Amino acid sequence: MKILVALILLILVTACSHPQEIVGEGDIISSTGKNDCFWEDRPCANHVTGDYDVTYTALPKEGWVFSEWQGCGGQFPDCAFNVPSSTVDSLWGKTAPALTAVFTQSANYPSITTATTWSAADATLTIDVSVSTITPTSVRFYPRGIDDEWVEVVTSAPFSFTIDATAFEPGDHEMLIIANDGDISASKAEIITVSGCNGGHHLCSRPYNQVRYPTTHNAMSNWTDGWVGPNQYLDISGQLALGARGLMLDTWEAGDSNQFGQIQLPDEDPEKPFLCHAVCLLGNMPLADGLREITDFLDANTGEVVTIIFESYIPADITAAAFEAADLKKYTYQHDGGEWPTLGQMIDAGTRLVVFQDVSVYPSYPWQMYVWDYAFETNYAAVTPEDFSCNVNRGNPNHDLFIFNNFLTSIFGSPASAEQVNSNPFLVTRINECEAVRAAMANFVTVDFISIGDTIITVDELNALGPY
């Protein structure tokens, strides 16, 4: 609400400095975010330049309530000014009587609590507000630092607000909740997390098969965990934090023979599953430990959808047991063979982890989906950039998902090779070429050393352009 009070205008036309004072304990918060006065800094000089178009909100400290404004012509609970820059500029150097927020102590001060519900499919955030001690005549809700014209007001219980989350970038935002009963006003600043879908609202309505995912080849093989000749610098947690949303993982059992006739981890318990690549002596970790890193990420990042593509040398039941041990099974998605859900629908349903196997285990474990029932890929044995092609290596090119392999094969991972093929214009040119040739979106852009080059930013930019 913006009210130009005659008395206040008369004061301001003789001023270009409008001091603020605080009686009791609380803060004065401005709609602009530029005219705040915090209790610790009181009194505040508040120099005014340009248009003085601002609404002030009083935010009490715990144990205090807001009682009144002094110097605001009787406005309550907010104090609004709208003075043009021409008036302010003509009276440079003058000082107006202070605007004072009066707070009083209360042994039984109102307490404001909130509960939030995020709908990724609808891109909305619902905030339910409860107030103790007083019976509010209104509750207002608005983001701190955003123009007060955005304020939403509910004048009767239940006090609930549903906002369009696309107005905010995904992340944490400080919101103000103000409740008053006509005599006193109680306020609360609350951090509200606005989630997107894989980093953006524009992907919430996008079907799973119409999104590109930065994907790490041999994600478990990494320098951080001390692997020899790794394919990634960062561990699984670090890859996910950087922006990887697809993970290629190899699984083996202790005591098995690899393709070189070597016994994998002969001193470990038989049938114990590990993540490793071909030769487990060069690097390994218990499968459940690696999966736990994914669990921790999904627990902490509620707006993210992740895919695992397994190259598996272990039975499906042992894989399933590791998922249970890592508390990861709860997130798995099972496709019904029809249209793929949107990312928003998957997030709302809590099924934010898609698991593919390179061996068929259906129907025993339908959430461990046989990848070649759904996807096709380009070749993965390129030694030089000239070896790359858009030809189909495995899978049916009519399937919904396209695994776009973009790494060079050598005995050990090569950061130099990754720099060469992960960087633009090479990377984006090749993606565009193969998407045109295959008439399909490159869903899983799979690279070595994802922290090198332009993979993350390129996939983000292509996703922003829309589906193929």
Structure token digits, residue 65: 């309530």
Q: Give percent of the chain above pLDDT 70.
A: 95
Reported as a pLDDT band with limits 50, 70 and 90, residue 146 is low
- pLDDT number for residue 149: 58
d(CA 373, CA 398): 10
Structure token digits, residue 383: 């030694």
The 10s digit of each residue's pLDDT in 126-143 is: 999 999 988 999 998 887
The type of residue at 142 is Y
- Mean pLDDT of the residues in the chain: 91
Tell me the DSSP string of 81-135: EEE-HHHHHHTTT-BPPPEEEEEEE-TT---EEEEEEEETTTTEEEEEEEE-SS-
Is the overall model pTM greater than 0.85, yes or no?
no
d(CA 407, CA 100): 65
Topology (CATH level 3) of domain 112-194: Immunoglobulin-like (2.60.40)
Structure token digits, residue 153: 């007001």
Which residue, among 447, 465, 169, has the nearest Cα to 456 in the 3D structure? 447
The 10s digit of each residue's pLDDT in 187-198 is: 888 888 888 999
Mean pLDDT (whole number) for 246-269: 89
d(CA 457, CA 180): 46
Sign of CA dihedral 105, 107, 110, 114: positive
Strand-pair category, 273-275 with 285-286: antiparallel
Residue 203: pLDDT above 80? yes
**Which residues, 6+ apart, have CB-to-CB distance to 417 below 8 Å?**
407, 408, 410, 448
CATH number for 201-465 (one of 3.20.20.190, 3.40.50.720, 3.40.50.970, 3.50.50.100): it is 3.20.20.190
Mean pLDDT (whole number) for 50-54: 91
Reported as a pLDDT band with limits 50, 70 and 90, residue 27 is very high
Reported as a pLDDT band with limits 50, 70 and 90, residue 9 is very low
Residue 5: pLDDT above 80? no
- pLDDT number for residue 408: 95
Q: Where are the domains of the chain?
A: 6-105, 112-194, 201-465
- pLDDT number for residue 14: 45
- pLDDT number for residue 8: 45
Mean pLDDT (whole number) for 228-238: 97
Sign of CA dihedral 34, 36, 37, 40: negative
d(CA 325, CA 287): 10
Q: 34-64 burial, b if ≥16 CB within 10 A, otherwise e?
A: ebbbebeebebebebeeebbbbbbbbbeeeb
Residue 32: pLDDT above 50? yes
* Strand, coil or helix: 354: strand
Could you give the C-alpha distances from 33 to 26, 58, 81, 148, 445, in angstroms and in order? 16, 13, 15, 11, 41
- pLDDT number for residue 96: 84
* Strand, coil or helix: 74: coil
Structure token digits, residue 428: 């984006």
- pLDDT number for residue 110: 85
Sign of CA dihedral 68, 71, 74, 76: negative
Mean pLDDT (whole number) for 269-291: 93
d(CA 355, CA 369): 6
d(CA 416, CA 412): 12
The type of residue at 45 is A
d(CA 382, CA 290): 28
Structure token digits, residue 54: 């601002």
Structure token digits, residue 245: 């949303």
Higher pLDDT, 184 or 423: 423
Least confident span in 10-14, 373-377, 383-387, 411-415? 10-14
The 10s digit of each residue's pLDDT in 148-160 is: 456 788 999 999 9
Mean pLDDT (whole number) for 218-240: 97
- pLDDT number for residue 43: 93
* Strand, coil or helix: 202: helix
- pLDDT number for residue 144: 64
**Which residues, 6+ apart, have CB-to-CB distance to 187 below 8 Å?**
57, 58, 59, 60, 66, 112, 176, 177, 178, 179
d(CA 112, CA 190): 10
* Strand, coil or helix: 385: helix
d(CA 304, CA 293): 14
The 10s digit of each residue's pLDDT in 301-359 is: 999 999 999 999 999 999 999 999 999 999 999 998 899 999 999 999 999 999 999 99
- A 10 A CB-CB count for 137 gives 12
